[in-house]
Amino acid sequence: MANAQPLVNGVKLLRTQRGWTQAQLAERAGISRTAVTAIEGNLLVPSVAAALALAEALETSVEAVFGRPPTPAKSTVWAKEPAHPNSPYWHAEVAGRSVLYPAEVTPMSALLPDGVAATGGTLPEGSTMAGETLVIACCDPAAGILASLFGRGGGLRLLVLPRSGRQAIDLLKRGLVHMAGLHFSTSDEPGRNAEMVRDQLGDGYQLLRMARWQEGIAVSPARKLRSIREALRSKLTWIGREPGSGARQCLDRLFESRRGPRRVAHHHRGVAEAVQAGWADAGVCVRLVSEEAGLDFLPVQEEAYDVCFPTAMMNDRRVQAFLAVVRSRAYGQLLGVLPGYDTSETGSLEAVN
């Protein structure tokens, strides 16, 4: 019989990642600093009580602190080329690969980077959190709520990459994320999300209903517009979205044969910020960000916002934790009070076969 892999000791790494001294960790865990020093130096095997206390203080699981080392990933790749020679990154294991993501400043995620890597040099080995990270690409402006609740589960974290629907599906297809958010389904075309997944990815996927939300025109209050027709007939400066996004498809249907805007925002909040700052008079986004920015909102359509993931990942503990959060009472209550969000179908699953 092959020898079992030895247990790893991640106390020092997890402590230094948080910027704590041994004394600070000892105080949080309720054990002596001498004990922390001995455990970090592998001079003392912690008792069950000490191991649980350390894991609780480090806000992770005992397995993440003292578990067996993860199976080496087949390869380490950048999800996209970093913009700077020395790039802060997040790290996750996706589809058998170790993937590095250039850390982005975004209101949808507040995760601290896992490290800094020099481009063109040796890529770092897997971090202790790589196998505990679930990566989703989406444009939901309320994704920060989801990430916060997910992180409370102990030992797991949710990395949110702000991307349009088509960009998210492309990342999923390339094996660079676990989940992709999309909102192409409307009341007139209720099956568009499933069609998009089937066309771009094929069979063997699940669609998890996150919410139904209102998408429409965010317009400067100074314009005093009260209808979509009035907005389309007025001489306005529009801010658009990139091709392939659900908001861009909505705007293209409104414009019909008219040429789309030259200026483009890369997410819903970008549209609202452009109008709020006076760079544009109007643009298409979800109601939530329009009201956050204090803009008038002209509803155009209700859309189904779904998250797609491979059926093969259904039993992955990260996915199971994600499902538990989405179906939780806390998430439903927090999402349900947001402007334009309908949570009556939240948590339902549809297989794409």
Question: Between 22-29 and 33-40, two packed helices, what is the crossing angle to 10 degrees?
Answer: 110
3-state secondary structure at position 139: coil
Asked if residue 230 and residue 121 are part of one domain, the reply reads no
CATH code of the domain covering residue 333: 3.40.190
First to last CA, the chain: 41
CATH code of the domain covering residue 290: 3.40.190.10
Asked if residue 249 and residue 299 are part of one domain, the reply reads yes
Asked if residue 234 and residue 288 are part of one domain, the reply reads yes
In tens digits, the chain (353 residues) has pLDDT values of: 344 445 678 888 888 777 788 999 999 999 999 999 998 888 888 888 888 999 899 888 888 788 765 554 457 888 888 877 788 888 999 988 889 898 876 666 667 888 887 665 556 665 678 889 999 999 999 999 999 999 887 789 999 999 999 999 999 999 999 999 999 999 889 999 999 999 999 999 999 999 999 999 999 999 999 999 999 999 999 999 888 888 888 998 898 878 878 889 888 999 999 999 999 999 999 999 999 999 999 999 999 999 999 999 999 999 999 999 999 999 999 999 999 999 999 999 999 98
Asked if residue 192 and residue 227 are part of one domain, the reply reads no
CA distance 85 to 88: 10
CATH code of the domain covering residue 19: 1.10.260.40
Query: pLDDT at position 1, please?
Result: 37
Angle at 157 between CA 336 and CA 194, to 5 degrees: 55
Asked if residue 163 and residue 53 are part of one domain, the reply reads no
* Domain end marker among 66, 93, 110: 66
Domain count, the chain: 3
Asked if residue 136 and residue 115 are part of one domain, the reply reads yes
Asked if residue 165 and residue 118 are part of one domain, the reply reads yes
Query: pLDDT at position 42, please?
Result: 83
Asked if residue 82 and residue 99 are part of one domain, the reply reads yes
Assigned domain for 21 exists: yes
Assigned domain for 353 exists: no
Query: pLDDT at position 133, please?
Result: 93
Asked if residue 230 and residue 142 are part of one domain, the reply reads no
Assigned domain for 279 exists: yes
Asked if residue 330 and residue 182 are part of one domain, the reply reads yes
User: What is the residue range of 171's domain?
Assistant: 76-206+310-339
Assigned domain for 247 exists: yes
Asked if residue 84 and residue 56 are part of one domain, the reply reads no
Assigned domain for 166 exists: yes
8 A C-beta contact, residue 301 and residue 215:
yes
Asked if residue 120 and residue 186 are part of one domain, the reply reads yes
